[in-house]
């Protein structure tokens, strides 16, 4: 098999919309019932991850802020969906503008996104599946600015972030953009080379992770951080959320094959193995270091493992998944418990530490571990380029975006309001009644 064919298989998610390339496809695409059935389910599973994330984060914050976190996640589900169908999908997968972004006109208001085949599934299903990724990625950032960001500023920032940070990255990885050199190469990638990112290590986790770090820095620390911050108010919620994330992630990862086949099945298995390994390792580290394994530790490890396998799940073996799980847990653990206190930024729910850094680990390590491509330093360097490009681009753009929104709206709630709690201040609601 030629290198090009191997590359296309290993980055199988790089499906270009039929509308733009109809003349180049030799045989007409046919819809497979099996693939379509699976992808409908996968789409639903990925959406389920966002309420799962909502409870994961919600349980970790103080009770006076739990509704604000749930609200922000649900608003992502609503707002990002509308933006997606109006212009988001087109920016990601429309006709490429120089490899940087898709044209907003190609699929404006889902133009030409119908029930005819895109690969072996209906085009509209592909767009729906991708749309669920566009929902959860901005939702991940919530963890960094939880408990202190104004709701209005959050809405504006998240909407703009989807369009100027998520869309380009998605286009680069999966829409025919910079992360693949194609026939003639580009400034980032040589011809016939491309970064492996099966389900979104760069597009989702490093992207959101670095934006989260910027948000933590620009917004500043919560009052009372680090010594007077209350513990998670409802760890059972966090565990429930983690469970929903784990299962939903099967849709996220195995669904990225866009087909009901062996690669999808293997993606499911390695996802599962990586999550399990990472959970175990984090618990063991805590047991040795702090004397007791905690449930917060296990679920943090599991999420780190799920993140680490995300770019790699189309290309990793079970053995590779074990390695990715160990590395993901160790690296995320170090960034959460050592680097964060050392540097002093208040990434409230460890979005950079877990999503960002475990994502960096998985995205680069798959260069050495890939079983579909050519493992080795060359591919690892290609991986590193995609990671560095993500960090630089999103780091800068997120920072600028945050500063702009701060200028116009103000990012943080007032000091007294932060102490009273966002639920009452931004939503006039109370999560839990006291007497009845």
Partner 1 sequence: MKYIVAIIQPDRLDEVLDELDKAEVHLVTVTQVMGRGNQRGLAQVYRGHKEVGSLLRKVKLEIAVNEEFVDKAVGAIKSGAKVDAGSIGDGKIFVLDLQECYRIRTGETGTAAIGA
* Interface with partner 1 (CB under 8 A): 226-227, 229, 231-232, 286, 289-290, 292, 294, 296-297, 300, 333, 336-338, 341, 350
| 358, two tokens | 């475990």
Nearest CB to partner 1, comparing residues 190 and 338:
338
Of 173, 318, 310, 168, nearest to 252 by C-alpha is: 310
Burial class (CB in 10 A: 0-12, 13-18, 19+), 242: buried
In order of 251, 258, 259, the CA distances from 434 in angstroms are 38, 48, 49
Please state the closest distance from residue 216 (CB atom) to partner 1, in A: 15
Q: What is the 3-state secondary structure (H, E, C) of 258-272?
A: CCCCHHHHHHHHHHH
CA atoms within 13 A on the CB side of 372: 24
Nearest CB to partner 1, comparing residues 224 and 410:
224
Please state the closest distance from residue 348 (CB atom) to partner 1, in A: 11
Please state the closest distance from residue 350 (CB atom) to partner 1, in A: 7
CB contact at 8 A, 104 and 97: no
Please state the closest distance from residue 342 (CB atom) to partner 1, in A: 11
Nearest CB to partner 1, comparing residues 275 and 336:
336
- Cα 72 from Cα 209, distance rounded (Å): 17
Buried b (16+ CB within 10 A) or exposed e, 60-80: bbbbbbbbbbbbbbebbbebb
Nearest CB to partner 1, comparing residues 175 and 297:
297
CA atoms within 13 A on the CB side of 436: 0
Nearest CB to partner 1, comparing residues 5 and 292:
292
- Cα 1 from Cα 213, distance rounded (Å): 42
Please state the closest distance from residue 285 (CB atom) to partner 1, in A: 9
Please state the closest distance from residue 409 (CB atom) to partner 1, in A: 31
Nearest CB to partner 1, comparing residues 131 and 353:
353
Please state the closest distance from residue 137 (CB atom) to partner 1, in A: 23
CB contact at 8 A, 304 and 329: yes
- Cα 405 from Cα 410, distance rounded (Å): 7
Nearest CB to partner 1, comparing residues 229 and 326:
229
CB contact at 8 A, 157 and 405: yes
| 144, two tokens | 């960094």
Rounded to 10 deg, the angle between the 33-60 and 295-309 helix axes is 140
Nearest CB to partner 1, comparing residues 197 and 347:
347
Nearest CB to partner 1, comparing residues 6 and 63:
63
Please state the closest distance from residue 386 (CB atom) to partner 1, in A: 29
Of 418, 66, 47, 68, nearest to 236 by C-alpha is: 66
Please state the closest distance from residue 337 (CB atom) to partner 1, in A: 3
- Cα 402 from Cα 410, distance rounded (Å): 9
Residue 22 makes CB contacts below 8 A (sequence gap 6+) with none
Please state the closest distance from residue 338 (CB atom) to partner 1, in A: 7
Nearest CB to partner 1, comparing residues 132 and 245:
245
């Amino acid at each position: 098999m030629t290198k090009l064919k191997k590359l296309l298989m290993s980055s199988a998610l790089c499906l270009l919309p039929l509308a733009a390339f109809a003349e180049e496809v030799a045989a007409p695409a046919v819809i497979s019932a099996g693939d379509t059935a699976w992808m409908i389910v996968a789409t639903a599973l990925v959406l389920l991850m966002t309420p799962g994330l909502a409870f994961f984060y919600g349980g970790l914050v103080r009770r006076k802020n739990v509704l604000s976190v749930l609200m922000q996640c649900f608003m992502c589900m609503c707002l990002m969906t509308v933006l997606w169908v109006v212009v988001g999908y087109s920016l990601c997968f429309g006709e490429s503008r120089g490899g940087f972004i898709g044209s907003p006109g190609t699929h404006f208001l889902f133009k030409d996104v119908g029930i005819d085949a895109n690969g072996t599934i209906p085009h509209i299903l592909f767009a729906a599946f991708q749309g669920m990724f566009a929902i959860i990625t901005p939702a991940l950032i919530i963890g960094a600015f939880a408990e202190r960001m104004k709701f209005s500023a959050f809405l504006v920032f998240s909407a703009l972030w989807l369009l100027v940070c998520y869309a380009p990255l998605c286009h680069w990885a999966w829409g025919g953009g910079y992360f693949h050199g194609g026939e003639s190469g580009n400034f980032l990638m040589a011809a016939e080379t491309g970064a492996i990112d099966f389900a979104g290590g760069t597009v989702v986790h490093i992207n959101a992770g670095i934006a989260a770090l910027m948000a933590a820095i620009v917004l500043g620390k919560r009052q009372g951080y680090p010594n007077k911050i209350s513990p998670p108010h409802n760890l059972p919620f966090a565990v429930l959320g983690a469970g929903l994330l784990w299962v939903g992630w099967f849709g996220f990862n195995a669904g990225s094959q866009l087909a009901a086949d062996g690669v999808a099945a293997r993606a499911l298995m390695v996802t599962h193995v990586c999550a399990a390994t990472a959970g175990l390792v984090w618990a063991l580290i805590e047991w040795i270091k702090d004397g007791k394994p905690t449930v917060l530790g296990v679920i943090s490890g599991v999420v780190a493992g799920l993140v680490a396998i995300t770019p790699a799940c189309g290309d990793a073996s079970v053995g590779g998944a074990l390695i990715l799980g160990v590395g993901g847990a160790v690296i995320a653990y170090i960034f959460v418990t050592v680097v964060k206190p050392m540097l002093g930024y208040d990434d409230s729910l460890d979005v950079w530490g877990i999503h960002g850094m475990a994502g960096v680990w998985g995205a680069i390590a798959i260069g050495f571990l890939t079983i579909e491509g050519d493992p080795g330093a060359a591919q690892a360097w290609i991986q590193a380029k995609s990671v560095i490009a993500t960090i630089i681009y999103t780091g800068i753009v997120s920072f600028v975006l945050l500063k702009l929104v701060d200028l116009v709206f103000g990012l943080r709630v007032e000091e007294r309001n932060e102490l009273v709690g966002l639920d009452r201040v931004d939503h006039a609601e109370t999560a839990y009644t006291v007497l009845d």
